[in-house]
Chains A and B, each alone.
Chain A
Amino acid sequence: MRYLILIGHDERGGKNLSEEEHRALFVAYQKYEKDLKQAGVLLGGEPLEPTAKASRISSEAGKRKVVDGPFSESKEIIGGYVVIDAKTREEAMEWAARCPAAQLGSFSYVELRQIQEIPR
């Protein structure tokens, strides 16, 4: 089964990190990626650009409505994602819990979502 690990964090929280903390975070993600790969579970994943470069598109009365980021009202944003293949929900949980965002600092977290599979 495929699972999406959404990496959420407080955008301002990240800015307060020292250079050393940034480096530690970078190293932790490298190790996380290596572990996922050596276990054969990594299917994909990428960090995302800040919401300053984002847009929200919807429609209102049949007309396109675009709001460019950053979005002042939301404090927490999605900063990246990982897609994994896990045999059980518990295994996916275990991988999610090992994501640096779930381990380092209080301004970040991960959200685990199962990807809906069309029955084979």
Chain B
Amino acid sequence: MPAPDLHHAAAAIWRIESPKLIAVLVRLVHDVDLAEELAQDAFVAALEHWARAGVPNNPGAWLMTAARHRALDALRHTRRVERKHEQLAGELDVAEVASFDEQPDDIIRDDLLRLVFVACHPVLSPDARVALTLRLLGGLSTEEIARAFLMPEPSIAQRITRAKRTLAERGGAFDLPLAEDVAARLESVLEVIYLVFNEGYLATVGGDWMRPALCDEALRLGRVLVELVPDQAEVQGLQALMSLQASRARARTEPNGEAVLLLDQDRSKWDVLLVKGGLEALARADALAPERPGPYQLQAAIAACHARAQQALDTDWSRIANLYEVLARVAPSPIVELNRAVAVGMSSGPEAALAILEPLTREPALADYPFLPSVRADCLAKLGRHAEARLEVERAAELTKNARERSLLLARAAAYARAQTASQD
């Protein structure tokens, strides 16, 4: 049992080093499960050694050497088994593993990138990709992932086991994608990171409005990806989008935990460093793809319109409406259309917005989406149709699963009811 100090340091060292260790091992053994096992073995050996000799200056190099030796043993063992069964030796080259010494940086970089693509492989369901990415690249334990998603630990463990099996059954899952396929494969990676971010930012389950740890984790993964593939506009676009949204985190809740909507927020509470970083990432995205911006870049551009407005009144709503129009062409979805309606409502008035919202009420994808009746309520109230507005906002309150959001919606229902009474007097 290591000393308490080492015990604490160990968790930190694992979080820092395990992605690199597993990344290198996955290249060598072509098996996520085995790679993880070997990395953990190396780590246990390291802890035993460090408990006696102290933590070295470069624990990463120590672990890498120990992991490499274990990979070598595992490969020799596989070779023996394969020979016994008179099978062809696989593409695993023991000599190659034995010969490499200190890893050059660009190999580590490729290994990390490979691990990103493996964890976010399109054959896996988005949920499985999220769990595997947090485990392999975030260095989070199954328990930490389960806690973050408010799920039972065995469910997450099972999800990860199944994902590993799927990858093992799928040939070629461990190859780096060809240069021309990188952008397409990145889509699945960006989706995973944004899912993690949104689960933290929007907290679709539970009593809290936000779970900041997940936002931080997503921002960190985004920074890793920016470092690994800096020349992809959408990678920069996603980082810009997450930074700009996260910059408002402090302004999104009252001290008592109540939610504060974007236009009511105290903008002095927005994090200037995150705003600055977000705008810089957006500028890089715009420089990389000035002609045909992707969906993350466009959403970041929309977020930037809010970030640039000193006060809510200064918001350039017609620019936002235009950006949503482009976004609706690039990535059409009822949600985008709904947001476009909000922007049009602000720039051209509630009647123009209601015209866009009308067909959306028949959209099955939005049938349980509280934001639609909430927006309709807002437009109706602006037109003085308070009775209808109240019905809509009450419907929104029924639909939401978030306790904080519900209380906000019910407060609006009460306000519309008062306005209705006042206008009747």
A residues contacting B by CB (< 8 A) are 31, 34-35, 37-44, 85, 87-88, 90-91, 93-95, 97-98, 103, 118, 120
Contacts and interface: CB of A to CB of B under 8 A. Distances in A.
Contacts, number: 63
Given A37-B227, A120-B250, 14 more contacts: A37-B223, A38-B108, A39-B16, A40-B219, A40-B222, A41-B223, A42-B223, A44-B273, A88-B12, A90-B12, A93-B12, A120-B210, A120-B212, A120-B252
Most A Cβ at <10 Å: residue of B58, B227, B249: B227
B224 A39 contact: yes
Contacts of B253: 120
Contact of A43 (B15, B228, B273): B273
Contacts of B205: none
B344 interface: no
B57 interface: yes
B9 A90 contact: yes
Interface residues of B, number: 34
Contact of B112 (A38, A87, A91, A97): A38
Interface of B: 8-9, 11-13, 15-16, 19-20, 57-58, 60, 105, 108-109, 112, 210, 212-213, 216, 219-224, 227-228, 249-250, 252-253, 269, 273
Contact of A87 (B109, B216, B228): B216
Contacts of A40: 219-224, 227
A85 B250 contact: no
B250 A94 contact: no
Nearest to A117: B250
A35 B227 CA distance: 10
Contacts of A95: 16
B216 A90 contact: no
A62 B334 CA distance: 63
